[in-house]
Structures are given as C-alpha cells and as structure tokens.
Amino acid sequence: DTEVTQTPKHLVMGMTNKKSLKCEQHMGHRAMYWYKQKAKKPPELMFVYSYEKLSINESVPSRFSPECPNSSLLNLHLHALQPEDSALYLCASSQGQALGRGNTIYFGEGSWLTVV
C-alpha cells in the first residue's frame, strides 16, 4: 500500500470547470512531485517542490497550477482544461533534496482525470 494518498481517484470535469487534485504524504519527505501519465506511456514530470518551494516547472501550461500549502500537502489546481489533458495524474514524494542522487520516488495511486 502506498503512503502517498491522492484524492479524488476519479474526476470528470468540463472545459470551463475549476477543480483541484490533492495529495498528502506523512513520511516526512521534503520533495513532492506531480507527474502526468497518458495510456501506455511513461510518467512525465510536471512539477517538483523541494522544501515547499517550486523548484522545477517542466514548461507546463498555466491551466495547471500547483500549490504546496505545507510539507505534507500538494495540490494541483485545474482550470480551463482541454480534452487532451485527460490522463492519470500521479503525485509522488521523496526524502530530502528533490534532486538528490539517492532519492527513491514513491508514487500515490493517482487521480484519473477525464475532461469533457
């Protein structure tokens, strides 16, 4: 069982809606990540937070807006999405510095997003 919890597990939203994905971890990890995964493809990095500060934004469109309220929580705010944004959104965390060489990344179960 994963110790990274994501809600909701499934989300259907219209292109004009505003919704949020939430992620929580209680492992004391100081780096948290959002990945996007399309069917039959590997996870693609979107954002990295290290010690609650945004350290990497992989040129993600502004309709995706991350937020890290504290070291245990990570949100992804969604607004004006397109159907092609439908995917599995994975939250992950790792100990210590986000880009540390020895860091193992632990994934949550993901949120399945469908944009209609």
Partner 1 sequence: GQQVMQIPQYQHVQEGEDFTTYCNSSTTLSNIQWYKQRPGGHPVFLIQLVKSGEVKKQKRLTFQFGEAKKNSSLHITATQTTDVGTYFCAGRGSSGDKLTFGTGTRLAVRP
101 touching partner 1, by CB under 8 A: yes
Told to check if 110 binds partner 1 by CB under 8 A, we report yes
* Shortest distance, position 32 Cβ to partner 1, whole Å: 14
- Side-chain-side CA neighbours of 90 within 13 Å: the count stands at 17
Count residues binding partner 1 (CB under 8 A): 22
Rule CB under 8 A: say whether 109 interacts with partner 1: yes
* Chain-centre distance for alpha carbon 19: 13
Determine, following the binding rule CB under 8 A, whether residue 66 of this chain makes contact with partner 1: no
From CA 24, how far away is CA 4, in angstroms rounded?
Answer: 6
Nearer Cβ to partner 1 (52/109): 109
**3/29 Cα distance (integer angstroms):** 11
Residues 29 to 58: which contact partner 1 by CB under 8 A? 40-45, 48, 56
DSSP string, 69-113: EETTEEEEEEES--GGG-EEEEEEEESSSTT-TTPPPEE---EEE
| Rounded least distance, CB 15 to partner 1, Å | 26
Query: By the criterion CB under 8 A, which residues form the site for partner 1?
Result: 2, 40-45, 48, 56, 88, 90, 99-102, 104-110
